[in-house]
Structure 1
Amino acid sequence: MSVDRVSATFVAAEKEITAETKREEGIGTAETEKVWEEKEKKQLRSGWKEYLEQAKELIVADGGPARWFSPLECGSRLVNSPLMLFLPGIDGVGLGLISHHQKLGRIFDLWCLHIPVADRTPFTDLVKLVEKTVRSEYQRSPNRPIYLVGESLGGCLALAVAARNPDIDLVLILANPATSFSRSQLQLVTPLLEALPGSLSPALPNILSLTAGDPLRLVLDSVVKGLPLQNTARELIEDFTTFASSLPVLADILPKETLMWKLKMLKSASAYAGSRLYAIKAQTLILCSGNDQLLPSQQEGERLIQLLHNCDIRKFNDSGHFLFLQEGSIDLVTILKGTSYYRRGKYHDYVSDFVPPTPDEAKEVIESNSLINFVTSSVMLSTLEDGTIVKGLAGIPSEGPVLFVGYHMLLGLELVPLVSRIFMERNILVRGIAHPMMFMKRKNGRLPDISSFDTFRIMGAVPVAPSNLFKLLSSKSHVLLYPGGMREALHRKGEEYKLFWPEQSEFVRMAARFGAKIVPFGAVGEDDVGQVVVDYDDLVKVPYFKSEIESLTNEAKQLRTGSSGEVANQQVHMPGILPKVPGRFYYYFGKPIVTEGRKQELKDREKSQELYLEVKSEVENCIAYLKEKRESDPYRSILSRLLYQATHGLTSDIPTFEI
């Protein structure tokens, strides 16, 4: 770990040299990627242990002013990586992101603020120190954002800097910000510390080094016996018991005098930042814990999201105050991917700013949807170049650009098995073109919370827009497109497997421009999972539901406003569905249609329309083929599949019909 004890200007120059060196190195080969993956997983598991071990080295003879350091374990960065400044909590060490250094170091230029134990710099001077660095770096790279990651006290610091610099492109990531200090029990700790005899340094480790639970509470109660704060102390201790074995280090980090200074600073920091929230224009993401024993973080998160102009929130109900250090708690890089908060320019670009999921991230997403994959036990068929239908996905082109065009089943049920299997079996990431409501929501809107779509964004989903399709095809991606959109996914009774496509071509000429292979596909099985018993036509007959549908539809971004017919009629509603004993999902990917070399030919509207209708016909043929063939599948019912697995093993490949 390198520690800079020099001015912010010199630090900026030194960081630029380091950045250029890392950029020349690049991200690395596949073998290097595996090595980084193992290191990153090891870091995420270490948490408190690694923090305390490195803190011992960092706080030894650490006189001098507050300063920045850059962790040496950060990896080679992406080109034009933005600057991330980490602002610590009351510990001041600057190692709060130690579990995330390697992953963050691959996509950010990471600097951490270190505030020495004996340092008594007032909060307002810390604001000026961070502000000086922010302004200096903004002048060097005005087209790139600067990220301020603040936890607890650091959250107040980030907000204060943002309020004073509304014209600088800042992105705030606030973990349990201490702006709620006046409503927390922490403000009662100062009189408790004053009541404790002597120095806290020997007392704190002796109190806290005992095992968690009743013995710890008994000792703590005896220390504060006779004081009205014993319940407060007992609650505050719970967040510290996870690292009780290394508490002597904590006592060195926060001796009594330092802790009292930091608590007084928290009070002034909370008031300073809280009074300036109106001036903050920065894009802000609040991460709040549901089990924070030090601050009312979730209530504060709900308050801040109403006060800040451009703010999102993510809740972690089982996490404590030290959100970034708890083992298995969160992965900050994954959160930034899922919330679309990673950008290298003034605006987030869903294609150029996309960072592919790591194997672990993809595995976690797939495992989170393991139930639907297990229940549907999908059958995948594809077509080779010579027209041969085969089981599996061998017929899917390996090299992009590829455009998958197909039928959208009820509620989009086919999405998870489709994307999961293609990724697992072919190591191909399919980038879905999705409805904008998965990416944006009004602050007080009634559409589903966009946090429920984080996993889709991690796996590369982008909002439907011609520009995004253009960028994906130009980058040779595998793209998933549903021309029927929401109208197919929210179809009426008796409309199973009916295509609702626009009358005119929307994608053919774009595909031809980049020589993309169009893969038509069909998917069936929704009628073996549930049946629509209450549809849109039924709901609009009831005044209450009609009003609700109109409200939701107006809230959602309108698509194809210039179109006519069924495809333009995309009301947002939830049909009533009667569940069934689950059947099986079937997918059939037709023979790829080559557009390479046909760019000029398909500029002609009639020719492109002919190909468009050919693709639509192929999708219908795929659906018809699957509907017929599944009738001969002896394992179409989940009961027969469970029986097969009971006799052949849970991981056995379940057979299907003969091709």
Structure 2
Amino acid sequence: MASLPALLSMPRAAPARNRVQLPRASRGTEPVTAPFGRRSKPEVKQVQKVLDDSVIEPVRVADFIERSKEMVRPDGGPPRWFSPLEAGSRPAGSPLLLYLPGIDGTGLGLIRHHQRLGKMFDIWCLHIPVADRTPFDVLVEYVERTAKEEYSHFPNKPIYLVGESLGACIALAVAARNPNIDFILILANPGTSFEKSQARPLLSLLDVVPEPFHAAIPNLVNFLTGSSYMMTSAYPENQPFIPEIVKELSENFAGAVNYFSFLVSSLPKDSLLWRLKMLKSASFFVNSRLHAIENQILILASGRDQLLPSSVEAERLCKDLPNVRIRHFTDNGHTIFLESGIDLVTIIKGAGYYRCSEKMDYVRDYLSPTSREYEKAVQNYRWVDLVADPVMFSTLENGKIVKGLEGIPCEGPAVLVGYHMLMGFDLGSLVSRFVTEKNIILRGIAHPFMFNRASELLMPDSSSFDGMRLMGAVPSSPINLYKLLSRKAFVLLYPGGAREALHRKGEQYKLFWPEQSEFVRMASKFGATIIPFGAVGEDDILEVVLDYDDLKNIPFIGNLHGRINQDAVRMRTESTGEVANQKLYLPGLLPKFPGRVYFFFGKPIETRGREVELRDRKKAHQLYMHVKSEVENCNSYLLEKREKDPYRNLLPRLLYQATHGFTTQVPTFEP
């Protein structure tokens, strides 16, 4: 039976597309089980309406160690690339991903993610043999040659460099030396902080510790960082009632200990010493060249990194580099890619970092969410379902109003046009209900603020908008609406935008639509169905007590809102009236004893066959005003009918569920 390195690397003949010739396990003609040969034309992706429920087999740190045992056996070979067979057959047109390992050098650091990454990327992993003594600058040149060869064949595609600790330094160095290549860097706990890290005293220790005793170093690191005491004393694993999150933390800690133990047992002292010295020189090399890097960079920073001050270093790099975004993982350690709860694909998609061409295309590059990603996306809105028990009504073609979404067509394209509730807390209920009842993913037209780096830096949590991107939100623009409709998508559109969702005191249920008809002619071009809808209930949940006019006069808050609106992408600057005054701010809100939220979808309006008619601006505007009137009518209908709902308030609903079961659907008024 072939050894594991053979199964992973599969030395092959010369590549058909003139790939760069790499020593030993170079890439070439692929085995039948993993056809990685690239095609010249990417396949056109279609908008997917169902969640991706494919099951990925879980892989633990122990699996990584077991599979690495073959890889760390000295073979006398130089560094080389391999393609993991479990990554499967990557889609046509997918970008290349080069994984650059940490000081272990095995190249198996993404083992937990190979299957999912293989659906999006052509994956090559760098393996650095144990006995190899290739200097840092030569490793950089080696990766650089591969990237240049790829770029010469596919100059319009990005190349992803995914690196951790030492590998992150290699990625930064390659990007600094090749500003003309479109690199996207995903860096986990980058080693650029070596001088301030636990690895620095570790290097000094190795110089004096004899060979047999260097295996005790992991325990010394745990003692110095306090990780062992904190995890084992606070969360004993023998308690049967231990919470799931604590189990995850304990697993990650145990994995970190196993990883470090594996590192010192698999790497002889001189090899480990060489890698740490290389990390030191790599840190110096990269820090002196940061000024030359302008690439897109996503940094994953662990809060419990036992070797590097990763959270602080991520913030430093974000200040020093112009195009960096950060995702903090407060409960994870140095081996973040090997730890449970981390899904690299979800992180990349949520941050908006997946693209297959020179520019981000939020429609073409979108990948439908998995069930787990869907849960992550809607979890911030769960409170609405819990306290407000949303009710939805729709209208059939014959005009009959029914409870549920039966009146919503099953096939697109369609544009759902409605009233935007306060703070947009209607979004989660809408998105989740359409997925569960209609198997439809709503593609929201969102404010560009949610995609802007400067905006992200102002948020308390840099991942605040990741859920919306996972569910397919796109920046507001005519071209994005055009692309969505051309792919028969269901588009969620709020003409009132931020002005409506962040309205002032006393403006609930008032529409702030632009004067010009923005979407009617576009919808008619593709024969899209326009579905007007109303949404009420915000006044039974929250009340605005401090609006923009109040807050702008408070020194600190006023300055913050000034920064938000200065940095935010401005919209509708050519418009007049209230809709042109879309000031972004965080209102002062007073919660109320919860009432109920209601949605009402009016009778669908067909534009199919009316393209010629609606080219006329006057007729298009008439239809636009009709849609606006229908949205107002939907709101009026709900405001009137909710008075007849005996379960409008929370207490009657709780009493009903107490007697009928808490999974029972609470009744409402008859439509």
Gaps of 5+ in 1: 218-237
Q: Which residue of 1 aligns with 2:71?
A: 58
**In the TM superposition, what is the alpha-carbon distance from 1:580 to its structure 2 partner?**
0.5
Structure 1 letter corresponding to 2:9? V
Q: Which residue of 2 aligns with 1:479?
A: 491
**In the TM superposition, what is the alpha-carbon distance from 1:503 to its structure 2 partner?**
1.6
Contact 1:83 1:110 (C-alpha < 8 Å) held by counterparts: yes
CA gap of 1:269–1:327, structure 2 versus 1, over 3 A, is: same
CA distance in 1 between partners of 2:220 and 2:622 (Å): 79
Larger deviation, residues 181-190 vs 19-28:
19-28
Larger deviation, residues 296-305 vs 576-585:
576-585
Contact 1:4 1:68 (C-alpha < 8 Å) held by counterparts: no
**Secondary structure, counterpart of 1:346 in structure 2:** coil
CA gap of 1:457–1:88, structure 2 versus 1, over 3 A, is: same
1:310 paired residue among 323, 329, 341: 323
Q: Which residue of 2 aligns with 1:527?
A: 539
1:409 paired residue among 416, 421, 424: 421
CA distance in 2 between partners of 1:543 and 1:611 (Å): 45
Gaps of 5+ in 2: 1-6, 233-250
Q: What aligned pairs does 1:129-528 form with structure 2 within 5 A after superposition?
A: 129-200=142-213, 213=228, 241-242=254-255, 249-328=262-341, 330-442=342-454, 446=458, 451-528=463-540
Structure 1 letter corresponding to 2:29? E
Structure 2 letter corresponding to 1:393? L
Structure 1 letter corresponding to 2:36? A
Q: Which residue of 2 aligns with 1:2?
A: 8
CA gap of 1:113–1:355, structure 2 versus 1, over 3 A, is: same
**In the TM superposition, what is the alpha-carbon distance from 1:208 to its structure 2 partner?**
10
Q: What aligned pairs does 1:562-581 form with structure 2 within 5 A after superposition?
A: 562-581=574-593
Q: Which residue of 2 aligns with 1:234?
A: none
**In the TM superposition, what is the alpha-carbon distance from 1:198 to its structure 2 partner?**
3.4
CA-atom RMSD, angstroms? Answer: 3.1
Contact 2:416 2:530 (C-alpha < 8 Å) held by counterparts: yes
CA distance in 2 between partners of 1:631 and 1:36 (Å): 41
Count residues with an aligned counterpart. Answer: 632
**TM-score, structure 2 length as denominator?**
0.88
**Secondary structure, counterpart of 1:2 in structure 2:** helix
Contact 1:75 1:103 (C-alpha < 8 Å) held by counterparts: no
**Secondary structure, counterpart of 1:345 in structure 2:** coil
CA distance in 1 between partners of 2:561 and 2:627 (Å): 33
User: CA offsets, 1:517-561, max 9 Å, x none?
Assistant: 000000000000112223234445667766554443232222111
CA distance in 1 between partners of 2:661 and 2:151 (Å): 59
CA distance in 1 between partners of 2:220 and 2:318 (Å): 38
**In the TM superposition, what is the alpha-carbon distance from 1:614 to its structure 2 partner?**
1.0
**Secondary structure, counterpart of 1:96 in structure 2:** coil
CA gap of 1:207–1:424, structure 2 versus 1, over 3 A, is: same
Larger deviation, residues 361-370 vs 66-75:
361-370
CA gap of 1:649–1:348, structure 2 versus 1, over 3 A, is: same
Q: Which residue of 2 aligns with 1:229?
A: none
CA gap of 1:66–1:564, structure 2 versus 1, over 3 A, is: same
Q: Which residue of 2 aligns with 1:639?
A: 651
Larger deviation, residues 599-608 vs 535-544:
535-544
**In the TM superposition, what is the alpha-carbon distance from 1:296 to its structure 2 partner?**
0.4
CA gap of 1:394–1:75, structure 2 versus 1, over 3 A, is: farther
**Secondary structure, counterpart of 1:92 in structure 2:** coil
Q: Which residue of 1 aligns with 2:625?
A: 613
**In the TM superposition, what is the alpha-carbon distance from 1:216 to its structure 2 partner?**
12
Larger deviation, residues 592-601 vs 189-198:
189-198
1:37 paired residue among 26, 43, 54: 54
**In the TM superposition, what is the alpha-carbon distance from 1:445 to its structure 2 partner?**
6.3
CA distance in 1 between partners of 2:334 and 2:559 (Å): 42
**Secondary structure, counterpart of 1:471 in structure 2:** helix
Q: Which residue of 1 aligns with 2:92?
A: 79
2:569 paired residue among 557, 568, 581: 557
Contact 1:440 1:450 (C-alpha < 8 Å) held by counterparts: no
Identity of aligned residues (%): 55
Structure 1 letter corresponding to 2:667? P
**TM-score, structure 1 length as denominator?**
0.89
Structure 1 letter corresponding to 2:519? F
**Secondary structure, counterpart of 2:86 in structure 1:** coil
CA distance in 1 between partners of 2:458 and 2:371 (Å): 34
Q: Which residue of 1 aligns with 2:238?
A: none
1:14 aligns with 2:29: yes
**In the TM superposition, what is the alpha-carbon distance from 1:656 to its structure 2 partner?**
1.0
**In the TM superposition, what is the alpha-carbon distance from 1:446 to its structure 2 partner?**
4.3
Larger deviation, residues 638-647 vs 412-421:
638-647
Larger deviation, residues 95-104 vs 46-55:
46-55
CA distance in 1 between partners of 2:306 and 2:557 (Å): 42
User: CA offsets, 1:84-110, max 9 Å, x none?
Assistant: 000000000001100000110000000
CA distance in 2 between partners of 1:402 and 1:216 (Å): 52
